[in-house]
């Protein structure tokens, strides 16, 4: 069965998604990023971004190294700057592991 995307194409999709996520983070006022819920059942955007970053970090590491564990790549994230820095750390680690 042929792959839907080759690794480079998948990385490009991930990078496009990341650019959109970063623009969205930057557009949010700091207090709303961590507190605003468009409807009660939804989490604040920062919580959703944390989940995305943790999944990316854990999955990419697991696929590249065979080391499967759940880590909190966003531990200590409390501000917009912290969240943007966490995005950059996860991106750098993904690009480091990707060729494997």
pLDDT single digits (tens) 11-48:
999 999 999 999 999 999 999 999 999 899 999 999 99
- Contacts (Cβ under 8 Å, ≥6 apart) of 80: 25, 26, 28, 30, 33
Residue pair 97/65 in contact (Cβ under 8 Å)? The answer is: yes
- Which residue has 């409807």 as its token pair? 39
Kindly list the domain boundaries of the chain, sorted by start residue: 10-97
Q: What is the pLDDT of residues 58-99, one digit of tens each?
A: 999 999 999 999 999 999 999 999 999 999 999 999 999 987
pTM listed for this prediction: 0.88
CB 13 within 8 A of CB 6: no
């Amino acid at each position: 069965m042929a792959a839907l995307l080759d690794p480079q194409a998948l990385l490009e999709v991930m990078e496009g998604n990341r650019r959109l996520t970063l623009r969205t983070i930057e557009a949010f006022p700091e207090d709303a990023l961590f507190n605003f819920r468009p409807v009660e059942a939804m989490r604040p955007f920062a919580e959703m971004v944390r989940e995305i970053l943790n999944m990316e970090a854990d999955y990419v590491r697991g696929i590249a190294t065979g080391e499967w564990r759940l880590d909190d790549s966003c531990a200590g994230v409390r501000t917009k700057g912290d969240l943007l820095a966490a995005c950059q750390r996860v991106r750098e680690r993904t690009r480091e592991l990707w060729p494997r």
